[in-house]
Amino acid sequence: MVKVTVWNENRHEQKNQAVREVYPQGIHGAIADFLQQDYQVKTATLDEPAHGLTDAVLDDTDVLIWWGHIAHDEVDDGIVEKVKQRILGGMGLIVLHSGHFSKIFKALMGTTCDLKWREADEKERLWVVDPSHPIAEGVGEYIELDKEEMYGEHFDIPAPDQLVFLSWFAGGEVFRSGCTYQRGKGKIFYFRPGHETYPTYYHEDVQRVIKNAVQWAKPVKRPAPVYGNVKPLEAIKTKN
């Protein structure tokens, strides 16, 4: 079974009663709850030792899900580097909503990952622009969210390997809201919706996308590549 670790800075839940009312077990708890139907799931948060991302935890993680917002700078650079190396080695990463500004996502993208935003009760429609992609399996032409925070272009990221979702907002903006990347042997998926004051992670289609993304991002089981100076391969012998 695929092993998933759901990481959340878990600060809004401590500071904001409105967020606690939406996510009484934390955003990480809500995500873990629907994932555990299909995967082996554990959670980790910022204020745990090593931010909950010890060597033992990372060694036992196939896919890491990341949600952060107001405490990006508090994440230790050494932990970020350790996570980055695990991703380059094959661990999958799913970055949600404001995790676009996390240290780990920026380190992997090599850009500012900045964007426009507007916090308002605004309709979002996430159009499926790659219906053949496995992350979009089981989703109709679009996902509609009655209330979400607006993110708008320009989104300062590298061109995605594949663009799966494109959002439209009632204010007129559009946004690349479902982007895939490969870094080293690891697969990365950025998925936009999930502002902390809205019940987005209870939405059936949002849950389906995250479940699909875990399956897509899981490591490929194969021998590690050989690097460095090597001897020539032996010539293939043909039978007489």
In a domain, 232, yes or no: no
In this structure, the number of other CB atoms found within 10 A of the CB of residue 31 comes to 27
Q: Domain for residue 55, yes or no?
A: yes
The reported pLDDT for the residue numbered 237 is: 53
Q: How far apart are CA 223 and CA 217, in angstroms?
A: 18
Q: Are 7 and 66 in contact (CB under 8 A)?
A: yes
State the Cα–Cα distance between residues 217 and 135, nearest whole angstrom: 9
In a domain, 129, yes or no: no
In a domain, 35, yes or no: yes
Per-residue pLDDT, 30: 98
Backbone φ and ψ of 50, nearest 5°: 55, 30
Distance CA 222, CA 206 (A): 31
Phi/psi for 15 (5° steps) reads -100, -25
Residues present in the chain in total = 240
Does the residue 188 lie in any domain?
Answer: yes
CA gap 190, 121 in Å, rounded: 22
Q: Which residue matches tokens 């496995």?
A: 134
* Per-residue pLDDT, 222: 84
What's this model's pTM, rounded to 2 decimal places?
A: 0.95
Helices marked H in 93-170 — which ranges?
Answer: 103-109
Q: Where are the alpha helices (DSSP H) in 148-226?
A: 204-217
Residue numbers of the domain that contains 97: 3-110+177-217
Which one-letter DSSP state was computed for residue 216?
A: H
Q: Residue 185 has what pLDDT? A: 95
Instruction: Tell me the pLDDT of the chain (240 aa) as tens digits.
Output: 999 999 999 999 999 999 999 999 999 999 999 999 999 999 999 999 999 999 999 999 999 999 999 999 999 999 999 999 999 999 999 999 999 999 999 999 999 999 999 988 899 999 999 999 999 999 999 999 999 999 999 999 999 999 999 999 999 999 999 999 999 999 999 999 999 999 999 999 999 999 999 999 999 988 888 889 988 877 555 544
Whether residue 28 lies inside any domain: the answer is yes
Q: φ, ψ for residue 17 (rounded to 5)? A: -60, -35
CA dist 58 and 50 (Å) reads 11
List, as own/partner pairs, every contact residues 205-209 make where C-beta atoms lie below 8 angstroms and the sequence separation is at least 24, other chains included. Answer: 205/139, 205/140, 205/143, 206/143, 206/145, 207/34, 208/137, 208/138, 208/139, 209/135, 209/136, 209/139, 209/143, 209/165, 209/178
Which pLDDT does position 224 carry in this prediction? Answer: 80
Specify the CATH number for the domain of residue 106.
3.40.50.880
* Number of structural domains the chain divides into: 1
Residue 235 lies in a domain: no
Q: In this structure, is residue 63 part of a structural domain?
A: yes
Angle, nearest 10°, between helix axes 204-217 and 26-35?
70
Query: What pLDDT, on a 0 to 100 scale, did the predictor assign at position 235?
Result: 55
